Amino acid sequence: MPAYTDRVLSLPEYPLSGIPEKKRELIARGVDVIDLGAGDADLSPPPAVIERISEAVRIPTMSRYGFALGLVEFREAVARFMKRRFAQDFHPIKEIVPLIGSKEGLSHLALAYATRGDYTILPEPGYNSYVGGTLLAEATPYKYALRPENGFLIDLDRVPSEVLKKAKILYLNYPNNPTSAIAPREYLEEMVRRCKELDILLVYDNAYSELAYDGYVPPSIFEIEGARDIAIEFHSMSKTYNMTGWRCGWACGKQEFVGAVAKVKSFIDTGTFMAIQAAAATALDKCADWIPSNVAEFQRRRDAAVESFSEAGFPVASPKATMYIWCPLPKNIPSAVFGERLLQDEGVVVLPGSAFGPGGEGFFRVSFITSPERLREAATRAGRVLKRLQAQVGVEVRTSAPREQHQGMARA
């Protein structure tokens, strides 16, 4: 039997890969499972989107190959969205590429820009597609630990010079998964400036641009002067429109960058089902008035999660964006141990910080993707597990609040 390649052997275990089977086993035993693991809300897409796909699937041409071009209507809707939301102009054919969700584009991009001997700089904890794409390209990931003391920000001044010299890609994700941190504008300006100096492609993962609270409005990296020269930005339909399983997103930027992603994809896939692209175009063009009510529901869930988990013994900061809270643990309780005990003893699924890499140790991620009532019940159960573990160890607790996050570029 052929052996696995070094590329495959280098891949870490995907954080969510074993959760469905564990859930199935617990449910079969009669356990009341509360799943706060994936960023996958129990909410419906906009009604207009459901109506559009119901119509589109009946059109024979929608079932043909989309190829790299995809549905031009979707490309044009993306261009209109980027103009309306961020005041940025993109050519729908030359500067936008449809994706089967932003995840695959983020992974495939590394195949175009990094290879053996190169580095990518990525956040840890962070979305696993960054490291997965890097390893599949046989490049080396330099993992920068996002911690409260550095504002959950990557500081290139702290990256070794030998890494910077060989770095091809910097992955940034703000609003951030899993920490829910946001990046001050002056920080983004500094990152654009440094990437231009170092000739590093800035990959900006903006999946949570519309899921923000308390008056905060997440920017596009292209709102920063000079970003067009060195950045590509990724967006997703998943979070904003509750369309996680539909798998539709896009990348935008100058023609050279999106063209590289499109070329890689042309050898790997033939595009998202065009009926889904049609529905996504409807979401972008006609559902702007629907978004505030959806965000208000997430804010209601956020408030319940922050209050209940804080009362249960996890002093968590209230996030200004995303669908996550990043909960601190006592320093001598490993996050994997806590997560497994919470799952097996209480039937609550969360993601241990260590599942995102060593930089995430000491925290666990809660996705506030279910009702406030279920979130409060999950927090009560988590508090019980915490007390049982604290009976065996000390009680010193980290904080999840980034120090001076809004005061400019934080230093470690």
- State the SS3 of 283-303: HHHHCCCCHHHHHHHHHHHHH
Question: What's the pLDDT score for residue 412?
Answer: 29
Angle between helix axes 102-113 and 128-136 (nearest 10 degrees) is 40
- Beta 140-145 vs 119-124: how paired, if at all? parallel
Please, is 26 exposed, middle or buried when counting C-beta atoms within 10 Å of its C-beta (0-12, 13-18, 19+)?
A: middle
Burial class of 392 by CB neighbour count within 10 A (0 to 12, 13 to 18, 19+): exposed
Q: What's residue 409's pLDDT?
A: 34
pLDDT at 207: 97
Same fold, 6-44+291-390 and 47-286: no
> Cα separations (Å) of 35 from 31, 39, 213, 323, 366?
12, 10, 23, 14, 9
Spatial contact of 378 and 348, defined as CB atoms under 8 Å apart: yes
pTM exceeds 0.75: yes
- Give pLDDT, residue 27: 82
- Evaluated on CA atoms 150, 153, 157, 160, the torsion sign reads positive
Where the chain has pLDDT below 50, the residues are 403-412
**Quick one: which of 136, 126, 113 has its CA closest to 232?**
113
pLDDT number for residue 124: 96
Q: What is the pLDDT of residue 403?
A: 44
Longest dimension (CA), the chain: 64
Domain 47-286, CATH 3.30.460.20 — does that match?
no
Please tell me what DSSP assigns to residue 207: T
CATH code that applies to domain 6-44+291-390: 3.90.1150.10
pLDDT digits (tens, 9 = 90+) for 139-172: 999 999 999 998 999 999 999 999 999 999 999 9
Q: Answer whether 395's CB lies under 8 Å from 389's CB.
A: no
Q: In what order do the strands lie in the sheet with 201-205?
A: 96-99, 249-253, 231-236, 201-205, 167-172, 119-124, 140-145
Annotated domain spans of the chain: 6-44+291-390, 47-286
Per-residue pLDDT at 406: 38
110 CB neighbour count, 10 Å cutoff: 30
Say if residues 321 and 180 touch (Cβ distance below 8 Å).
yes
DSSP 12-73: PPPTTTTHHHHHHHHHHTT---EE-SSS--S-PPPHHHHHHHHHHTTSGGGGS--TTT--HH
- 324 strand-pairing partners: 367
The number of beta carbons lying within 10 Å of the beta carbon of residue 1 is 3
